[in-house]
Amino acid sequence: MIDRIERELELDAPVEEVWDAVTSDGFMADEVELDLRPGGEARFGDKAGWVEESLVPARLTFWWSDGDEPASRVELTLGPLDGDRTRLRVIETRPLDRLDLVGVPLTRIGGASFGPALVAA
């Protein structure tokens, strides 16, 4: 089963300003730390994870989890609209059952794994 939440916002600011806002303190958490390289560390307040993809200033994909809750994958996509307006699309999915079936290792900072443990047969 895949849980999915999708939202789309139209903002009165250019893409670069929206990118700066979503990747800094305040939009997703009071304190944000991002290493925008693939595999880089991502921290959003109490949530921690890693960056899957970053195409500045158009797309950011990362995984995050809070404590022992299952991890979810978040995609932020930014696109220009007329004038200095931006469309921000946010999709959060929790597809861990499918990933665990194909053996994709999902580890977090410190070595603990995201989602249910893989059981060796």
How big is the chain, counted in residues? Answer: 121
Structure token pair of residue 12: 């009165």
Cis peptide before 57 (omega within 30 of 0): yes
* pTM for this model (two decimals): 0.78
State whether residue 18 is helix, strand or coil: helix
pLDDT per residue as tens digits for the range 4-63: 899 999 999 999 999 999 999 999 999 999 999 999 999 999 999 999 999 999 999 999
**Cβ atoms 64, 71 nearer than 8 A:** yes
For residue 49, which of 76, 70, 30 has the smallest C-alpha distance?
70
Which domains, from first to last, does the chain contain? 3-101 (3.30.530.20)
Cα separation, 96 vs 99, in Å, equals 5
